[in-house]
Amino acid sequence: MTHERFKSCISACDACALACGHCAGSCLAEGRADEMAECIKLDIDCAEACHFASGAMARGSSEAGTICRMCADLCDTCAQECEKHDAQHCKDCAAACRACAKECRAMASS
């Protein structure tokens, strides 16, 4: 099956989407949405990109490499923003984003 070849990248994308969703929700719950707005927006964008990439790989899309390159770039941007903040959920999100970017770049270059 096509998706088995991309299993580690799909897992990284799914984990990153989960971490980004948690980070966005936590940022909103902390009551500082104004100062965390960029983080929240990037979390949402990154989660959507990760879902898109995971789905593309799962269905064997001919554009999976292109989508994963885009996802990797967005993961890097999200990680950079999350690394500016001290909250543990931001640190966890940044780590998941870095791991996903690495997996996506490896997948796209294979």
> Quick one: pLDDT at residue 67?
98
CA-nearest of 15, 3, 6 to 98 is 15
Q: What pLDDT is attached to residue 2? A: 60
Amino acid occupying residue 80: Q
Q: Is residue 9's pLDDT more than 90?
A: yes
The total of structural domains in the chain comes to 1
In this prediction, residue 5 carries a pLDDT of: 85
Burial (CB count within 10 angstroms: exposed 0-12, middle 13-18, buried 19+), residue 96: buried
Give the range of the structural domain holding residue 86, as residue numbers without chain letter.
2-109
Does the structure show a pLDDT above 90 at 32?
Answer: no
CATH number at residue 79: 1.20.1270.360
Length of the chain: 110
Residues 14, 54 contacting (CB under 8 angstroms): yes
4: pLDDT confidence band, cut at 50, 70 and 90? Answer: confident
Residue with tokens 């990153």: 16
Report the mean per-residue pLDDT for the chain. Answer: 95
Task: Provide the token pair at 3.
Answer: 């998706």
